Amino acid sequence: MLPRVADSLSFLYLDMVRVVQDDTGVCAQIKTDENRTDLVYIPTAALSCLLLGPGVSITTPALTTLARHGTSVVCVGAGGIRAYAGILPDSLTTHWLEQQVATWADPAKRLEIAVRMYQMRFEDADIPESVNLDKLRGMEGQRMKAFYKILAQQHGIGRFRRNYRPDQWGTQDPVNLALSAANTCLYGIVHAALLALGLSPALGYVHAGTQHAFVYDIADLYKADTTLPLAFALHNSDNPEQEARRRFREDLRLLRLLPRIIRDVQSLLSPSHTHTAATDDDTDDETSERHDVRMVHLWDPKTGVLPAGVNYANGDH
């Protein structure tokens, strides 16, 4: 059985440590001021993803144990932001990747998920079922304009216009600089979560044409709650980029964003697979989130999958 990805111990972030394998298990060696080395043992069998931040070194035996226990290892920036690279174990189930590919390759299902993504941004707003994707794009544009106006009024700013021009980076106002920096951090967190589930960051439903299309899809669900209020709060900052990264990292302790991303992605790819705080401890919900590990199975156009390790030769052969 695979550990529940949305559990509190499913993601562990480390920085400034050396990760090694000893006779007991995988542990993090921490140098103290008293010239002493403390050991913190890592529950590898209960982890879905280990995030390695700056200053971390890890040995090959430790990586081998993590892979054997089905734990993904992702190299990230400080505080779990900016995903740089990921090592996915062979035992990681392809269940969610297969769900993603199946829905992405079917135009009708892809459209359905794209529409649901837009609807999630409106939260409890009553959106008619007849609204198509074009109208949703327009409604989203109006929603963001209104949100910009509200935030600008709250902070005593004149008219705000979103401007992302890398060739004019030095001429942008503090809000735009802070927003770009905070969004980059958000993309890293989403990227790490998708890798932990074994999903492809490139197969997006709203965005397309980039290796991070799905990252942008999911990140857009949270900007109004996370990066936008932060960016407007830094409108008088002398160093908005640095402050945005630092404050966003500090706020993550309160946001608990990674479990939320996991739940939302799973519910998008499989509508019957939903999680709420009221049902997280229910047996049915736990069963739906776990999947038996199938070492290998065979694809069949009629039945979907067939058991592997079976000789399918007819009696005449």
Residue 275: the pLDDT is 44
Which sign does the torsion angle of CA 303, 304, 310, 315 carry?
A: positive
Selected residue with higher pLDDT from 11 and 190: 190
8 Å CB contact between 220 and 117: yes
CATH number of residue 101's parent domain: 1.20.120.920
What are the tokens at 23? 């006779």
Q: Are residues 31 and 116 in the same domain?
A: no
DSSP assignment of 56-79, as one string?
Answer: -EE-HHHHHHHHHTT-EEEEE-GG
Mean pLDDT of the chain: 81
pLDDT, tens digit (0-9, with 9 covering 90-100), for 138-174: 888 888 889 999 999 999 988 888 877 767 667 788 9
Owner of token pair 């994707």 = 133
Q: What is the chain's alpha carbon radius of gyration, rounded to the nearest angstrom?
A: 22
Q: Are residues 130 and 231 in the same domain?
A: yes
Residue 124: the pLDDT is 59
Cα dist. 168→180, 236, 238, 243, 292 in Å?
Answer: 13, 19, 18, 20, 51
Question: What residue numbers bound the domain in which 22 lies?
Answer: 11-87
Alpha-carbon span 140 to 123, nearest angstrom: 12
Q: Are residues 258 and 234 in the same domain?
A: yes
Tell me if the pTM is above 0.85: no
Residue 278 falls inside a structural domain: no
Residue 317: the pLDDT is 46
Q: Are residues 137 and 199 in the same domain?
A: yes
Q: Are residues 195 and 233 in the same domain?
A: yes
Q: Are strands 18-21 and 57-58 parallel, antiparallel or unpaired?
A: parallel
DSSP assignment of 285-311, as one string?
Answer: HHHHH-----S-EEEETTTEEEESS--
Residue 311 falls inside a structural domain: no
pLDDT, tens digit (0-9, with 9 covering 90-100), for 98-122: 999 999 999 999 999 998 898 888 7
8 Å CB contact between 207 and 143: no
Nearest Cα to Cα of residue 288 among 269, 277, 273, 307: 273
Residue 145: helix, strand or coil by DSSP? Answer: helix
Selected residue with higher pLDDT from 236 and 255: 236
Residue 229 falls inside a structural domain: yes
Q: Is the pLDDT of residue 8 over 60?
A: no
Cβ atoms within 10 A of the Cβ of 112, count?
Answer: 15
Owner of token pair 């044409």 = 209
For residue 20, what are the β-bridge partners? 27
Residue 47: the pLDDT is 79
Residue 81: partners with Cβ closer than 8 Å, 6 or more residues away: 184, 185, 186, 188, 189, 245, 248, 249, 252
Alpha-carbon span 291 to 97, nearest angstrom: 13
User: Which range (56-70, 252-266, 268-282) has the least confidence?
Assistant: 268-282
CATH number of residue 34's parent domain: 3.100.10.20
Residue 288 falls inside a structural domain: no
**Number of domains forming the structure of the chain:** 2
Residue 290 falls inside a structural domain: no
